[in-house]
Structure 1
Amino acid sequence: MYRVSPFVRHFGLALLAGIAVATLWLTLSPASYYDAIEWRLAELPLPLWLAPFPLALTPVNIVSDGLMALFLFFIAKELWEAIRLDRGALTGRRGGLPLGAMLGGWIGAVLVWLISGALVETAMETPPGAGWPVPLGSDVVLCYLVGRLIFGNGHPALHLLLLITIANDIAGLIVLGLAYPASGLRLVWLGLTLAAVAVAWFGFARLARSDLTERDHRRAFALWPYAVAGVVSWLGVVLAGLPGALGLLPLVPVIPHADRAFGLFAEAEEFLHDPLNRLAHLLVKPLALVLFLFGLTRGGVDVVALSPTTASVLAALWIGKPLGVLLGAMAAARLFGFALPQGVQRRDLLVIAILTGMGFTVPVLALDSALPGGAMAEAARLGLVLSLLAGGAAFVTARLIRPR
């Protein structure tokens, strides 16, 4: 089996380092921590027809809505190649079982969230069922970090885990944006995004073919048109009221790419020179810094914020999602005949299900939109960080069920 590039491990370590520094800073000096991450760098006096609420640039929203768009672009590229390219991990019937596992995990997580919220009072001002998108996402890099220790770098179970967690994060953020738009949906602005995609395709990407001239080759394989289109696409998504982290995703399908997939984050992709892979390679080093900054600005945990909301988060991620992943995968196998990937055993699926209970990046992005701020959001953030302990549970489970 193919090997996953080591930079994914570096991403996970950078994210954990950011969380650790943020938690230490918050514990020692809460006031200075919040002053730093919420510091208003600039005020944007935009007209009402452009933005219904005053906008301010702060480290938190620059990282969450701006820089994290680069990370979502990076992982969306892998998901798109798995779906679209020859030998992709999700082509044909290969995608049935991962899709069933993802949908089952969503159903399980949301059901447990709703039941937990109905049984335990969280906040009086919160409507029933609020916050249900929080447990939809997983954590690609941290799940990979623990999964690699359990399965090894080339094990097919690790690749199934990456498929499920990437799909969880991207689809979960889309659902969040539609269910809890930041300032009301203004979908007409998506016309700006569509225009950027159209110009990138018809003006440049469409020229990429085997018989193109040298002039067309330079035009189709230049990177600057896709960078400019990315800025315009991101602006359209933000003005439409959707999470800025989704802003670059519409461009992924139109950027010229390789003819066949080599696997998720495969080391072989480092030798490809198509525009999509070149853009991904340019992002590798900056993304380690982006994930550190994300952990720093969004990972500060108030260790005394424990409340019923913390329990709801943990129940949804530790009980609802793993059970849903298992039942969803079994239903896909039994009802529709989808098989486990070659080399993946049922005991591996159990470990994968437990690992999907680790939720941080996209669930943290959901906090501001899906939950009221203050104590409830801090309690949910504590639950998300505690959910990372599912990695230890998966490690122990893997050792217990290992065949003798």
Structure 2
Amino acid sequence: MYRVWNFLTDYSLLLIFGAVTALIWANTNFESYHHFVEFVIWDHAPIGHLHDGHRTLTLHYLVNDVLMALFFAIAAKEVWEAVILKNGSLRGKKAATPLFATAGGMFGPIAVYLGLALVMGSDTYNAVANGWAIPTATDIAFSYLVGRLVFGAGHPAVRFLLLLAIADDAAGLIILAIFYPSGDLAPEWLLASFGAALAVFLLFNWLPRRMDRGNQARPASTWVRKNLHFVPYALAGCVSWYGFMRSGLHPALGLLPVVVTIPHADRAFGIFSEAETHLHDLLNVMEHSLKYPVEVVLFFFGLLNAGVQFSAMGDATWLVLLGLIVGKPIGILIFGWLAAVPLRLGIPEGMRIIDLVVIGCVAAIGFTVSLFVASVAFDAGPVQDAAKMGALFSFGAAAISIIAGKLFRVEKRDL
């Protein structure tokens, strides 16, 4: 529990503080809050929002589109290790049922969100339809903490939940890239992104290892590591980010092609493992170095995105909230049951099928990624504000999870 709480302290408490500050500020002096969010740092900048034919770099763009790339890079690092490493948590049969459940945890919320929007009428549906992906997100840190509180640290459902959350992060990154472009698509610019990633991999990862074949001292790799460290990857990241921005894809995902090129250890212990801090491969060293900058970025992300007036609550609020707290548990239960029983993929020993309902309630905490998707799904205005309120209210899923655990008689198992 200490490691989980330490992670939350590192990455989430400042985010919550920023979000609470934004809510108070927006509901006491919305005009000054709005001016702060849209503060112009650089007019006629090489990056930023397009405005009257030129780009304007605002504080909001700097945080959401530039600096949040660091946060998504860390998320991508965890997903990449889970997929590529021999003992990765998303490899092999052990991940099959959680992956099915993840699909249910996305289709369920989408069905509830869009289905209820249709019931509300065509006007409501047309206004909110683009926000269908908001309730598909799961906040990995808070969900994991609540899962441990409900099931106990030693329950197999906690591991199942973590696999589901990692897979959900991976799917969320794909959704953001495909369905929420930041402008007119110009895919030729992606050649710059993937070209930079390929070049840095070949020159500073593959080639030194090739030169060191048969030499235990690894002189070429050691020289690159000691003298160049992260610099080539940082430069490639800048090029990749710029390529994403010009391509029309959301630039916050711009570092993803470079993350997979960085030298990494041959094993990973997981984001909440104490042992993870003792890995000294370049990928883990870079993640550890980003810890404090990302804390500050998340504070400003909460401050600049959670400033919603309570009067903004509307149809999108309840659609997002119901998509999460109703669609997630139903979708995870149905798809998890299909995988475990008819497809005979099974579930971890010590877990019950009914535990999938409780896992779904825990996974309904959307918060960080839901808030981010809401900010890109809708233009600034009442619908976006209402959707953000739904993402913030998803914290209520924690209380629902505790009640569901009692109702379905979950037996807590500590380590």
Q: Normalising by structure 2, what TM-score?
A: 0.88
Q: How far 1:165 moved relative to its partner? A: 2.4
Bigger Cα displacement from structure 2, 251-260 vs 158-167: 158-167
Relative to structure 1, the CA distance from residue 99 to residue 105 in structure 2 (aligned partners, 3 Å threshold; closer, same or farther) is same
Q: How far 1:203 moved relative to its partner? A: 0.3
For 1:184, what is the secondary structure of its paired residue?
Answer: coil
For 2:43, what is the secondary structure of its paired residue?
Answer: strand
- Alignment pair present for 1:391 and 2:391: no
Bigger Cα displacement from structure 2, 306-315 vs 385-394: 306-315
Aligned equivalent of 2:19: 19
Structure 2 residue identity aligned to 1:217: T
Structure 1 residue identity aligned to 2:366: G
- Alignment pair present for 1:317 and 2:332: no
Q: How far 1:155 moved relative to its partner? A: 4.8
Aligned equivalent of 1:140: 140
For 1:234, what is the secondary structure of its paired residue?
Answer: helix
Aligned equivalent of 1:351: 358
Bigger Cα displacement from structure 2, 7-16 vs 110-119: 7-16
- Alignment pair present for 1:402 and 2:410: yes
For 1:201, what is the secondary structure of its paired residue?
Answer: helix
Q: How far 1:337 moved relative to its partner? A: 2.8
Given that 1:7 and 1:284 are in contact with CA atoms closer than 8 Å, whether structure 2 keeps it comes out as no
The counterpart of 1:215, out of the listed 211, 215, 220, is: 220
Q: How far 1:80 moved relative to its partner? A: 1.2
Relative to structure 1, the CA distance from residue 249 to residue 336 in structure 2 (aligned partners, 3 Å threshold; closer, same or farther) is farther
- Alignment pair present for 1:369 and 2:376: yes
Q: How far 1:192 moved relative to its partner? A: 0.6
Deviations 1:288-315 (A, max 9, x none): 2221111111112311112122121112
Relative to structure 1, the CA distance from residue 125 to residue 373 in structure 2 (aligned partners, 3 Å threshold; closer, same or farther) is farther
Given that 1:72 and 1:170 are in contact with CA atoms closer than 8 Å, whether structure 2 keeps it comes out as no
How far apart in 2 are the matches of 1:154 and 1:12?
24
How far apart in 2 are the matches of 1:72 and 1:163?
18
- Alignment pair present for 1:247 and 2:254: yes
How far apart in 2 are the matches of 1:223 and 1:175?
29
Q: How far 1:381 moved relative to its partner? A: 1.1
Aligned equivalent of 2:161: 161
Relative to structure 1, the CA distance from residue 34 to residue 6 in structure 2 (aligned partners, 3 Å threshold; closer, same or farther) is same
How far apart in 2 are the matches of 1:356 and 1:328?
14
- Alignment pair present for 1:277 and 2:261: no
Structure 2 residue identity aligned to 1:245: A
Q: Structure 1: any 5+ residue segments left out of the alignment?
A: none
Aligned equivalent of 1:120: 120
Bigger Cα displacement from structure 2, 30-39 vs 82-91: 82-91
RMSD (CA atoms)? 2.7
How far apart in 1 are the matches of 2:51 and 2:281?
37
For 1:130, what is the secondary structure of its paired residue?
Answer: helix
Aligned equivalent of 1:34: 34
Given that 1:140 and 1:162 are in contact with CA atoms closer than 8 Å, whether structure 2 keeps it comes out as yes
Given that 1:159 and 1:264 are in contact with CA atoms closer than 8 Å, whether structure 2 keeps it comes out as no
How far apart in 2 are the matches of 1:349 and 1:318?
13
Deviations 1:261-309 (A, max 9, x none): 2233321111111111111111122222221111111112311112122
Given that 1:52 and 1:183 are in contact with CA atoms closer than 8 Å, whether structure 2 keeps it comes out as no
Given that 2:148 and 2:158 are in contact with CA atoms closer than 8 Å, whether structure 1 keeps it comes out as yes
How far apart in 2 are the matches of 1:231 and 1:266?
30
How far apart in 2 are the matches of 1:154 and 1:282?
31
Relative to structure 1, the CA distance from residue 17 to residue 45 in structure 2 (aligned partners, 3 Å threshold; closer, same or farther) is closer
For 1:6, what is the secondary structure of its paired residue?
Answer: helix
Q: Structure 2 matches for 1:35-74, cutoff 5 A?
A: 35-44=35-44, 54-74=54-74
Relative to structure 1, the CA distance from residue 343 to residue 295 in structure 2 (aligned partners, 3 Å threshold; closer, same or farther) is farther
Given that 2:330 and 2:357 are in contact with CA atoms closer than 8 Å, whether structure 1 keeps it comes out as no
Q: How far 1:351 moved relative to its partner? A: 2.1
Bigger Cα displacement from structure 2, 117-126 vs 159-168: 117-126
State the percentage of identical aligned residues. 38
- Alignment pair present for 1:187 and 2:195: no
Relative to structure 1, the CA distance from residue 307 to residue 2 in structure 2 (aligned partners, 3 Å threshold; closer, same or farther) is closer
Q: Give the total of aligned pairs.
A: 402
Bigger Cα displacement from structure 2, 256-265 vs 165-174: 165-174
Q: Structure 2 matches for 1:290-309, cutoff 5 A?
A: 290-309=297-316
Q: How far 1:124 moved relative to its partner? A: 6.4
Aligned equivalent of 2:337: 330
Deviations 1:7-39 (A, max 9, x none): 244322222111111111111111111110111
For 1:135, what is the secondary structure of its paired residue?
Answer: helix
How far apart in 1 are the matches of 2:156 and 2:305?
32
Structure 2 residue identity aligned to 1:233: S
For 1:126, what is the secondary structure of its paired residue?
Answer: helix
For 2:56, what is the secondary structure of its paired residue?
Answer: strand
Q: Normalising by structure 1, what TM-score?
A: 0.91
Bigger Cα displacement from structure 2, 139-148 vs 152-161: 152-161
Structure 1 residue identity aligned to 2:372: L
